[in-house]
């Protein structure tokens, strides 16, 4: 049986790769204007905020395999719920079908993460 910690870590890797794929497609399709989001100029503080937001899944890959089980469960659920809500609210702002598709895939990975953390039983803890 695969450890819940590994499943959680893998779901965060999959989420981050989904985000990255969207960014790559946006650049190659020409839907990306450097220094702008929509018609809004991006400053250093917005770049910092985006970096903080995007580093959450990266941190969670490591945290999922290293945190104490009880804390791990709640941190995974909290981070996944936060990103789920953030992306759900932002979904209508994406103009392209591929962006909307990838956001929905990302929402699926958030649900998977929440499910694995929520259903984590004590008997699975001993597998690690």
Dist CA 2 CA 20 (whole Å) = 26
Give the residue numbers spanning the domain of 69. Answer: 4-125
* Predicted confidence (pLDDT) per residue in 8-26, tens digit: 999 999 999 999 999 899 8
Domain count, the chain: 1
pLDDT of residue 21: 96
pLDDT of residue 75: 97
* Predicted confidence (pLDDT) per residue in 50-105, tens digit: 899 999 999 999 999 999 999 999 999 999 999 999 999 999 988 899 999 999 99
Those residues with Cβ within 8 angstroms of residue 41's Cβ, 6 or more apart along the chain or in another chain: 35
Asked if residue 127 has pLDDT above 70, the reply is no
pTM: 0.86
């Amino acid at each position: 049986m695969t450890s819940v910690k590994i499943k959680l870590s893998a779901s965060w890797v999959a989420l981050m790769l989904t985000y990255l794929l969207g960014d790559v497609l946006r650049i190659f399709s020409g839907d990306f204007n450097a220094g702008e989001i929509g018609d809004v100029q991006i400053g250093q503080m917005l770049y910092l905020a985006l970096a903080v937001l995007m580093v959450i899944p990266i941190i969670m890959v490591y945290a999922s395999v290293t945190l104490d089980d009880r804390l791990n469960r709640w941190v995974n659920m909290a981070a996944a719920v936060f990103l789920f809500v953030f992306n759900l609210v932002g979904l209508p702002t994406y103009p392209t079908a591929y962006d909307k598709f990838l956001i929905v895939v990302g929402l699926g990975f958030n649900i998977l993460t929440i499910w694995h953390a929520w259903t984590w039983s004590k008997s699975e803890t001993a597998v690690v």
